[in-house]
Amino acid sequence: MRVRSETGFTLIEAMMASVILAVGLLALSFMQATTLSRNVDSSELSRATSLAAEMVERIQFNRSRVLSYNGINTAGAGNCAAIINAINDPMASGDCKQWVALLNGPYGAGLSALVGTVSVSPTGPINPPLNQSLVKVQVTWTTLAGVNKLQRTRNVVINTTIDPE
């Protein structure tokens, strides 16, 4: 009597391999969608952080007039003229206008409801007085909704202490 050896796959083995492959590909596609969503979040966060850092650098450069930047809010039209006297503080006024242009320009494009605010308050010891100022620059925006992603408000806050020259 002769024993036959069977080679190859049975139908059940092929179906099981197909199911395992399908589950793996489905998991891979979900991971790809999540990665794409996180890339968009990362891009938005990087741009908002750069916009906030831009204003902090402008304030540090004009540190002798740091209090002039207090109250900047880019949500309103003509805010720079209402907050900063362009004759007494031309540099602070120009910084405000340029920051508003950056927020509303191509670099801020895609960041929905983008608003930048600046608050400045005196800080540091009173005796001896160091005339330091605590500067808070905040950039707020609304993320874009997408597949499996809800629209939400996000913000970046940079706090720093500015010393006089």
pLDDT of residue 108: 80
φ, ψ of residue 60 in degrees (nearest 5): -65, -35
Contact (CB, 8 A) for 102 and 52: no
Q: Report the predicted TM-score, pTM, of the whole model to 2 decimal places.
A: 0.75
Q: Is 124 left (phi over 0), alpha (psi -120 to 50) or beta?
A: left
**Distance separating alpha carbons of residues 82 and 150, to the nearest angstrom:** 36
For residues 67 and 84, the answer to whether their CB atoms sit within 8 Å is: no
- The angle, 0 to 180 degrees and rounded to 10, between the axes of the packed helices 11-61 and 90-104 is 160
pLDDT for 78 equals 67
Digitized pLDDT (tens) for each residue of the chain, 165 residues in all: 666 666 767 888 888 989 999 999 988 888 877 777 667 778 888 889 999 999 999 999 998 899 999 999 988 766 888 888 888 889 999 999 999 988 888 888 778 889 999 999 988 777 777 888 999 999 999 887 666 667 888 899 999 998 887
pLDDT at residue number 11: 84
H-state helical runs in the chain: 11-61, 79-83, 90-104
